Amino acid sequence: MLEVRARRSFGAFSLDVDFAAEAGRLIALFGRSGAGKTLLVNMLAGLVRPSAGRIAVGGHVLFDSAAGIDLPPERRRLGYVFQEGRLFPHFSVRGNLAYGMRRRDAAARREFDHIVALLGIEALLERRPRDLSGGEKQRVAIGRALLAAPRLILMDEPLAALDAARKAEILPYIERLRDELAIPTVYVSHAMEEIVRLADTVVLISNGRVSAVGPLEEVMSRLDLRPLTGRYEAGAVLATTVESHDDADGLSALRFPGGRLLVPRVELPPGARLRVRIRARDVSIALAPPKNVSILNIFKGTILETGEDSGGAQVDLLLDIGAPLWARVTARSFRELALTPGAPVYALIKAVAIDRHSLGRAGQPRFRDDSDGSAI
């Protein structure tokens, strides 16, 4: 359990947060640049002191202004993976990894070997940080934080400084940490695709305040949070399980409460759980079941809510197709189709619009098969 209550002002900016989240899984702090995410993480780590509040991880109180408790960073036992890696330039990779290790016995050596293998950095041990690529540096930084045997891992946009190829290189490792080591993680990001892929719980931060806390699917389907989750990126997250594969056509069928969703072939066995993010702009609306169209995914549903767009040219619709789904249509279509809440519609989703950036494996066997829009 991660409990955070913290306040602090810096000139015109003020941070004032109060939330609790189950720390048994990956918690994402999501928000735009400048929302106060890094500041909050630094407060957790003890690098910045809140002017008032209380911070506890798994029952251990790290900070409590009322009780006069303020553990220094070295006694908080939180592993911190920084955006820029921050490897020690004067140590080898091995020296960096060993820096935070508390013990040097046989068990510690096994732990070292295990994590080195998990991160695939065996070949780098004797190198200097300057001889590593950006992705390798981040893997070493993750290993260094893990080997300090932390209660919680903090990752502050660990992929932000990397190009797309390096990001794709690291993401599977972070997934493996989440799934194999089961160390609670707080993951800071402003990139939706990372959040969808990794997070179980989302803490939405905006302007120094917590706007929402909850399971990923729930937070992402809330229309009122759309300005915060991002306009272009807006979309719903569906919790699905892999049903079958059609190798001839290169498609996979995913089962979710609204039916079967066909997507380009995913490399997961049937039964595997998979989260799919469907952007609002990839969903079209029809009043009657369309015929002779290329779109494979057609779901019958009803409009729950309509959201005005400030520009007036587009309208976002929240649909219930057995699960919450967003659609974005032009204001003209909205008018001409006379779309109103309660109206029955057909939602059309292009299979090819769902690429691998929209897919994420759920970390814990915690899956909401009853996504009935109760979050709204």
Partner 1 sequence: MLALTPLEIEALALSLRVAFWCVVVSLPFGVALAWLLARRDFIGKHLVNGLIHVPLVIPPVAVGYILLLLFGRRGPLGGFLAHAFGITIAFTWKGAVIASAVMGFPLLVRAIRLSLEAVDRRLEAAARTLGAGPLRVFLTVTLPLTLPGLLTGALLAFARSLGEFGATITFVSSIPGETRTLPLALYALSQTPDGEAGALRLVILSFLLAMAAIVASEFLARRVQDRLGA
Report the interface residues with partner 1, using CB under 8 A: 45-47, 72-80, 82, 84, 86, 88-90, 99-100, 102, 128-130, 144-145, 148
Separation of alpha carbons 41 and 83, rounded Å: 12
In the complex with partner 1, which residue's Cβ is closer, 102 or 291? Answer: 102
Closest separation in Å from C-beta 201 to partner 1: 23
Task: For CA atoms 29, 33, 37, 38, give the dihedral sign.
Answer: positive
DSSP state of 310: T
Separation of alpha carbons 335 and 302, rounded Å: 17
Closest separation in Å from C-beta 90 to partner 1: 5
Separation of alpha carbons 258 and 349, rounded Å: 13
Output the DSSP codes for 226-240: HHHH-STT-EEEEEE
In the complex with partner 1, which residue's Cβ is closer, 133 or 244? Answer: 133
In the complex with partner 1, which residue's Cβ is closer, 6 or 78? Answer: 78
What residue type is 65 in one-letter code?
S
Separation of alpha carbons 1 and 23, rounded Å: 5
Closest separation in Å from C-beta 76 to partner 1: 8
In the complex with partner 1, which residue's Cβ is closer, 91 or 367? Answer: 91
- The Cβ-side half-sphere exposure at 157, using a 13 Å CA radius, reads 21
Token couple for 352: 């090819």
Closest separation in Å from C-beta 23 to partner 1: 17
Closest separation in Å from C-beta 172 to partner 1: 24
Coil/strand/helix, residue 26: strand
In the complex with partner 1, which residue's Cβ is closer, 153 or 266? Answer: 153
Closest separation in Å from C-beta 205 to partner 1: 21
Give me the phi and psi of 68, to 5 degrees please: 70, 30
In the complex with partner 1, which residue's Cβ is closer, 29 or 321? Answer: 29
